[in-house]
Structure 1
């Protein structure tokens, strides 16, 4: 269908409303998301010809899809509250000193490498909701902790989570030609390696200022090269495991690095949070292994289930799903009919791993005498108190994205950019991936939404599609840094819900700039035949 300028600006309006309310007006995520949802509904009805029934179904899909995110938030907060109630965070903070007195390296180990490891195996926001409280317990300010975890998980959003986002891209674009597949892999892993290097340097700077980044530059470069080059080589052999393998190796490497004489000298954080005396006096004999117990179990459970096909398939056979009828707008945009929409497999969902790890941690701490009377009640109450406002915001954001997607608004935005830019479209190709993740908080969803579109543009422009497909998924990975729903997970876990606008304002320009650089590189590759 033809697109006019009014439709394009109307499709852009909900995003503008969301950003203005978050960045300019400093509204909380729940309020801004509700306003964005209302704007998307009005646009769908008045401009895009979506009927009330179609819009209602889109909102219902958004609410259902939001459940998978909320099921991560609540048990992750339970793990946090279990650790806080037992005094584990104070032990972790003291135990990290035994690893190395260099607090910037401590932050790199947790906020970059461990968070990247979690992204490699679990994803779905788990690295943010688990990593942020750990960093806070180590003396990092809450807002900085959220920024660090968002940066640390970004590069793993394509081949992490056992390559699920890459599989989504492959499902939408024809990569049956081995040459196209290889080129797309090389382009994707190459750009993601750069993202990882930049993230490592920025995390060192956030933790230790310029001196911290300078002091740890060699370590960051070494680890980034291991991860980037390792992922590139392994992705050609096994895209599903490539990220998990290299982040596992780097996790071991950074602890070995911490034993070097270079890192036996104390180094303080650039802008540490004020120490709370009650967190430092635990009154128990817990050791560092016990303090990390819930997180150890989380890793073991996830690895055993997700890397064993027999167990994964057995537990994954039980699913929950809703059915939805297909609808068509008056402008001709169609939605599919689903007998089982977005099936949720609760036994292999990240939330199940988190909940089981939390329960095991609680029972062990209770047995060892680290949980005081009334601890369970306090844990549940505090977790629910933080989850409810976050859940409202997540539902609003995801429902908004579904309304825009189902009624053609997101497609119009992408097609409008492609039709206007023509031959210079490759410069903007990463922004399409970023848009998809910004709207859905999922690089997988972004690749499914726009993977086929990027391929169509390549055919229309008669250019090699591999670089555009790579730009799509790399842009989606960068978009995970600024995705409002993922930021909400971080602010909820860090106890600063309502400051989502501050987080976005600190990373938005950088994310857009990085996409622009990659877009220029892709464009140059076509011009010079790289």
Structure 2
């Protein structure tokens, strides 16, 4: 039995919080200052959290390890399984040769270089982030921008900033799923709230990208295209996340924005003239259709999974049980749920696996190629699996031992206005140092909701602001900078890239803090923040 305490050290929230935050500080120092690999840093931070749970919060060793196992298992099911199948699906398109064809077609569909950049970095990059994430949009789109003639520094900066707004719904809403697991709030409610924040940022990104590529001249020449691209992406992201499927918000938004970009260029008087229909063009169109097939299949599978009748059928295969040997009481003596759900069919990872199998059949790929791709995908994410399990274990130990509650109650002393301003900053710091919005959500999701309840702010708004604040930090994270610099042959120039993007990241963070504050106002939050269902589903 674990009975949480609020201020175990000298009865002081300040001193207890100073101890409780040490694992997070250790993680940031090991990652950001000492350059440790993510899996080693998270394991070290987990060890520190276990030690504090034992020595300061009085949690028995067996119970501490059991909590860590509970969190690690949760992370493997909810996150690692998704990453594995997302990478496999991507590898199928690459090995079949269709992905390269899609990239070539994207690069040739828009006329002027700034518009090509928008289509590749903002449209195609958003699609990649929505499906696979994990740094792939930065690596792939940076190389494509260099191939169409952008200087390496510009290519790196553009892809880093373009790959910000889609991050919250990346890898089929993986950060939202992670946030739900850390807070116990429903995925649909959190996704709807984030979908009422990040679209505002999305409408600005195309304008920023034009300024980076061509300054005022490019902005004057192509502001209408930037406006339509940002508006179409933002509106679609809002509509899909609120009314269709949180998991498809990025995918559909990116496809709609790309279609709007191409249509605008084709219909504009000074746009690209229609090419003559040659045999080569016809082949390109056929190959483009094949390259788009996996994404269409994903949209179809996940859309069908939203139909209530099918949802109920898929839910039948869900196994649910109380985690063995684990009983947690809050400081006031109320039992804290430790329910473990194993959704065999309705989970995102399984639906991605099904999409991959259908893709294999549609594209007539051999089972041998598919199995090799799956084996290589599993090998590719071997370090990420350890990181995911460790970061979830760390978060669960901090949450269930009471460490998160201690820090949240201290933050609650800021008051509703102060905390609403700080909430996105917390997510920004977490994503900047861990390189992952999902990790930031797992680390700080429980902290945000605890503090929000203490100040009388909506926990849904606080948790969503953590994720939305994290998206604008992705461009300055060490991992993203390393991927971008390596792709465009600027290894060693990470600091120079950082200096070019941090101004924009901080500016977007300030805007996000203002959005969070505005949405927290009593006369605004009532109609902006979505209501929780009668029975929240973790």
Do Structure 1 and Structure 2 share a fold, with TM-score over 0.5? Answer: yes
SS in 1 for 2:59: coil
**Cα distance in 2, alignment partners of residues 378 and 92 from structure 1:** 22
Quick check: 1:386–1:492 contact (8 Å CA) kept in 2?
A: no
1:255 aligns with 2:249: no
Deviation, 1:508, is: 7.9
Structure 1, unpaired ranges of 5+: 174-180, 266-282, 459-464
SS at match of 1:347: coil
Query: What is the DSSP-based 3-state SS (H/G/I as helix, E as strand, rest coil) of the residue aligned with 2:84?
Result: helix
Is 1:316 the counterpart of 2:315 in the alignment?
yes
CA shift, 1:391, in A, is 0.9
User: CA contact under 8 A between 1:48 and 1:407: conserved in structure 2?
Assistant: yes
Label 1:518 to 1:302 Cα distance change in 2 as closer, same or farther (>3 A). closer
Is the 2:30–2:36 Cα contact (8 Å) retained in structure 1? yes
Give deviations 1:318-345, integer Å, cap 9, x for gaps.
113453254458988987243x42x232
Give the 3 Å change call, closer, same or farther, for CA 305–258 of structure 1 in structure 2: farther
Provide the rounded CA distance (Å) in 1 between the counterparts of 2:120 and 2:54.
Answer: 46
TM-score (structure 2 length as normaliser): 0.69
1:473 aligns with 2:464: yes
Q: 1:112-123 counterparts in 2 under 5 A?
A: 112-113=122-123
CA contact under 8 A between 1:108 and 1:203: conserved in structure 2? yes
- Once residues 61 and 493 of structure 1 are traced to their aligned partners in structure 2, the CA distance between those partners, rounded to angstroms, is 35
Determine if the alignment matches structure 1 residue 147 to structure 2 residue 160. Answer: yes
Q: Of the candidates 395, 406, 413, which is equivalent to residue 419 of structure 1?
A: 413
Rate the CA distance shift 1:284–1:100 in 2: closer, same or farther, 3 A: closer
| Residues 218 and 447 of structure 1, relative CA distance in 2, 3 Å threshold | farther
Partner deviation per Cα, 1:441-483 (whole Å, 9 max, x = no partner)? 486996676446414403xxxxxx46x8545423322225558
Q: C-alpha distance in 1, partners of 2:518/2:361?
A: 58
Q: C-alpha distance in 2, partners of 1:11/1:383?
A: 36
Q: Describe the shift of the 1:444–1:39 C-alpha distance in structure 2 as closer, same or farther (beyond 3 A).
A: closer
Q: CA 1:73 to 1:480, structure 2 compared with 1: closer, same or farther past 3 Å?
A: same
- d(CA) in 2 for partners of 1:61, 1:495: 37
Work out whether 1:84 is the aligned partner of 2:106: no
Are the counterparts in 2 of residues 155 and 193 from structure 1 also a CA contact under 8 Å?
no
Matches within 5 A, 1:345-424: 345-366=343-364, 375-376=369-370, 378-419=372-413, 424=418
Helix, strand or coil at the partner of 1:344:
strand
How far, CA to CA, are the matches of 2:234 and 2:66 in structure 1? Answer: 42
Name the counterpart of 2:63: 54
Inter-partner Cα distance in structure 1 for 2:372 and 2:484: 16
Q: C-alpha root-mean-square deviation of aligned residues, in Å?
A: 5.2
Q: Which stretch shifts more, 248-257 or 223-232?
A: 223-232
Distance (whole Å) between structure 2 residues aligned to residue 366 and residue 495 of structure 1: 34
Compared CA separation, residues 197 and 26, structure 1 to 2 (3 A)? farther
Partner of 2:534: none
CA shift, 1:238, in A, is 4.8
Match of 2:200 in 1: 194
User: Structure 1 483/349 Cα, relative in aligned 2: closer, same or farther at 3 Å?
Assistant: farther
Structure 2 counterpart of 1:272? none
> How much has 1:199 moved relative to structure 2?
3.8
The answer (yes or no) to whether the contact 2:328–2:336 under 8 Å persists in 1 is: no
The residue aligned with 1:429 is 423
Cα distance, 1:513–1:233 mapped onto 2, change above 3 Å: same
Q: For residues 375 and 473 of structure 1, do their structure 2 counterparts lie closer, same or farther at Cα, with a shift above 3 Å needed?
A: closer
Partner of 1:289: 289
Say whether residues 1:69 and 2:76 are aligned partners: no
Q: What's 2:298 paired with?
A: 298
Number of equivalences:
479
Moved more, 349-358 or 195-204: 195-204
Out of 3, 11, 22, the position equivalent to 1:13 is 22
The residue aligned with 1:270 is none
Preserved CA contact (<8 Å) 1:151 1:203: no
Give the 3-state SS of the residue equivalent to 2:322 in structure 1.
Answer: strand
User: Larger deviation: 36-45 or 471-480?
Assistant: 471-480
1:376-421 CA-to-partner distances (Å, cap 9, x unmatched) read 4642342222021221121122211222222222222222222256
Q: Distance in 1 between matches of 2:70 and 2:183?
A: 24
Q: Kindly tell me: are residues 285 and 381 of structure 1, through their superposed partners in 2, closer, same or farther at Cα, counting changes over 3 Å? A: farther
Work out the CA distance in 2 between the residues paired with 1:491 and 1:472.
28
Listed as ranges, the matches of 1:447-462 within 5 Å are: 450-451=448-449, 453-458=451-456
Q: Highest relative contact order (Cα 8 Å, sep 6+), 1 or 2? A: 1
Q: Are 1:221 and 2:212 an aligned pair?
A: no
Alignment of 1:12-31 (within 5 A): 12-31=21-40
C-alpha deviation, 1:169, in angstroms: 12
Query: Who is 1:40 aligned against?
Result: 49
CA contact (8 A) 1:59 1:399 kept: yes
What secondary structure does 1:429 align onto? helix
TM-score (norm 1): 0.70
- Distance change >3 Å, CA 512–CA 489, structure 1 → 2: closer
Query: Which is worse superposed, 249-258 or 382-391?
Result: 249-258
Range 286-295 or range 399-408, more displaced: 286-295
Residue pairs, 1:242-281, within 5 angstroms:
249-259=256-266, 260=268, 262=270, 264=272
Contact 2:228 2:260 in 1 (8 A): no
